[in-house]
Structure formats: C-alpha cells, structure tokens
A and B are shown apart, each in its own frame.
Chain A
C-alpha cells in the first residue's frame, strides 16, 4: 500500500504544528510569573521535607583515598579577572584577608595563616554538580562554626553571606559577581568548612584559591569559590538580585539539597 505523498506531508505538517503549539504553550507557561510561582512552590516542600529528615544531624557520606577522582572537574569560574585578586595571587595570598562582618560583635580580618592555626577538619566527599556529574575530592579547612563563633554572631542575624572575587557574568550593575548564602542549620554543620586545601595541597586557583566553601549536603553551586568576605545579615533583600546567590538570582533553588 502506498500512502499519498500529499496526504502524508499534510499529516506530518499537522503533527509538527500540534507539537509546536504544545511546546510553545509549555515554553510560554515557563515564563509566566504566576505559573512559575506554582512550580517554585515545590522548593519549599522539598526543603521542609529534607529539613525534617536532616535537621542539623546526619553527615554526608565520606569516602576513602581510593575513591578520589583522578580528574576533578573545575566548573563555573576557573580564574578571576579582578586585578586586586591577581596581585594577591602572585604573592601566594600572604596579603589576603578573610573579612567577617555584618551582624557580628567582633568583625574579623583573618589571614590564611590564622585560618590554618584554627581547628581543622579533613573530609573526602562527593561533589555533586547541578548539571548531573559527580567528583570525589579531599578537603581540609576550618569549620565555618569556629569562624562564626570567633566573630560573635548577633541574634538578629539569619543568613551567612559569602562574597567572592569572581565575576561569572559581567553586568553593568555588578550583579554578575558570585555570592552565596546559607542558613544556620547548614552553616553550623560540622562538615561545613572553609577549605584551604584540596587533595592535600593548597587549593588551586581553578577550584577557588585561596578559600572555598564546602556544604556537603547540597549541590556544587552553593560552595562558593574565591571567598573574600563573610557577611552576617538579617535579610537577603538588596544583595545581588535578592534571592541569596548568583545562580539563585538566575532561577535556581536557594535550598540546593536536590
């Protein structure tokens, strides 16, 4: 049996048109504010469910040296254009200081040597990128809790904001500079560290030298690299585009546990 070519192409075009309308409809819905809000309501369901299961308790699985990834992919910024940063990098970050300020009783300026002198934690963990891949690496750093205790967090503070040196998307208003934020459940978790070493060596520049955040129960984009300043705040409004992070400002979830 032969199908009439005219009829076949008509059917094909009709199917293509129906498909385009359906797809176009879904694309338009994706960009409609009220519908996006409906979709985004899933984030609070997810974060409540995971908070219920996790609290501040369980640890992310820790692996052994045999599990270390031979190649650990460096994603996002892998270098920093900022000239102040480059001058610091040339001198191995001896003049670099981590600023801790905002709603704290004792603002800090901590050198790498001072951070290294504080209690440290070493952990071999899996880094899960939002894109879907995973790499296993070893991280050594100071638990964020020690740095926060040293600065004395005021009771009004609700978020810990990490300001970074890298600009991932150049924008005229500066909202393309990388930043991230955490609530206190994750900020005080023992595995949440400010890492200055990776796989037993000083943190390389592609992975965020001199200091990066590790938040092992969330996705990679929460783990800010090139951290320059930690600011304690009551609200995330007014920072970047107000959603708590570079990727959050671009539609990703603030709670990145999934």
Chain B
C-alpha cells in the first residue's frame, strides 16, 4: 500500500494564536477570581433582588457537634452533602472550613473579596480588549467566514460527523485541512454567544452600567438573574474548555498544540497509511 506523503500546512495565523492564549489565560484567572467573588455570598437567585429563602443554588455549611462542619449544596430546594468540595472544605491547617468553593479553585486561595475583584476586573478588561481585537481581525481578514462558517455540505453531513466523533475517528488527509462542522459550530457558539453573554451579564451586575443601559436589566430579567446567567455561562465555558482539551489530546496532542504555538500543522495520514 502506498503511503501518502505527509504534508504540513500553516493552520493558525499569528493573530489567532496570540489571541487564543491570552484568552485562555484570562478565562482561567476570571474563573478562579470569579469563584472567589461568588464565595462572598455563595447563593444564586432569579429576578431583580435576592429572595434569601429561595435560592436556586446555595453552597452552605451546617455545624453540629457530632458530625462537625458539613458542606451542604442546595439546588432548587434539594439538599446534597458535598463536604470536602462545596460548602465546606479543607482550609489552612487541614481543618474543615465553611467555604462555598474550595480554596484550590479560588484566586486568591484564601477568602479575600477585594483582591478577587481586582483580579477579576483587570482580566475582564483584557478579555474584552483581546476579544475585540480577535473579532475585528476575524471580520477583516475573512477568518470568521473562511474558517468558522460551516459549508452547506458540512451541515448536510453533520449526522455522519457526530457519529465519527463519538467513535473517536477524526478527519485525516485533505479533510483535516479545515475545521470539521462540529468544531466550527462550537467555536462560533463560544466566540459569538457564550463569551459575549458572560461579558454582558457581568456588566448587568454593575449598578453604574444598569443606570446607563437599563435595557440590560430587561433583557436578563434583573440583576440577580444576570448573576445566575453569568454563573451558567461561565459553567458552559468550563465545559467547553474541558471537552476542547480532551479532543485536542485525543486527536493528536503534540500536533494540535504545536499548531496553536508555531502555526504549523501536519495533516494526519489516513488509517490505511499505517
């Protein structure tokens, strides 16, 4: 059997690579400082104000002498013991402390709302600036249309692509020159829906922005709803990053990583080429 010659292409432009890594760093810091801020009042509500007796989600702690401090997670009125992870977890001195999210998930690791806010707002500005640079570049260079807009043919074969993905069979050869339809749709959803949503709901929590743009309160149903949507959108981003990393590792870890650093991507040969 003839082995197909391996070809390498330039997969990612310098702008995409730089904005990708700045975005990744921002998301990690925003997540951890965001959980620090969340821990100052570890409960979520719906509407304009907080109905303290009816949280959608609350990470609480109970303390009775026999069992010690237990972490209790309440979701829509149902309570779960989540000691060690949510509500109560190990703090300084290996003791169990009442704490929404555990210290290894927050920035700073200890309880410090003001510092968490400083990190969060600095990197929020960087995220927005970086995102704006990416979108303007993406529109002007044609990157969004050329690389991320699915073709009609791709959309027609989406069922086939999903099946192949579930079997962990990834495109090779010429097919691997472009993103597949699932990648395109996911990246578009992250760049054009999830990230703008997390920024807008973040801004809706600002009393200053609410005065300047009261429409945000109408769109998201209130400041507390916006805070809940902010949390859900952030959770969506975490889910995306986890799947993104897993797929990167499964479909050629080094090749994928290198292409996002140097830009060079080696087209994977077909299964018959081995």
Contact = CB atoms under 8 A, between A and B. Distances in A.
Interface of A: 19, 23-24, 26-27, 30, 36, 38-43, 45-46, 50, 53-54, 58-61, 63, 67, 69-71, 73, 126, 128-136, 216-219, 247, 250-253, 257-258
A42 B121 contact: yes
Given A58-B212, A63-B48, A126-B49, A250 B122 contact: no
25 contacts: A23-B103, A23-B109, A26-B32, A26-B108, A27-B109, A36-B118, A39-B122, A40-B118, A42-B124, A43-B121, A53-B213, A54-B211, A58-B212, A59-B211, A63-B48, A129-B41, A132-B40, A132-B41, A133-B43, A217-B207, A217-B210, A219-B207, A247-B114, A251-B114, A252-B117
Contacts of B254: none
Interface of B: 32, 37-38, 40-41, 43, 45, 48-52, 103-104, 107-110, 112-115, 117-119, 121-122, 124-125, 203, 205-214, 217, 223-224, 227
Nearest to A129: B41
A23 B110 CA distance: 10
B115 A30 contact: yes
Contact of B212 (A27, A42, A54, A67): A54
Contacts of B114: 247, 250-252
B58 to A, nearest CB: 11
B40 A38 contact: no
Contact of B207 (A73, A218, A250): A218
A122 to B, nearest CB: 18
A250 to B, nearest CB: 7
A41 to B, nearest CB: 7
Contacts of B207: 60, 126, 128, 216-219, 257-258
Given A36-B118, A73-B52, A251-B112, 4 more contacts: A67-B48, A134-B223, A257-B207, A258-B121
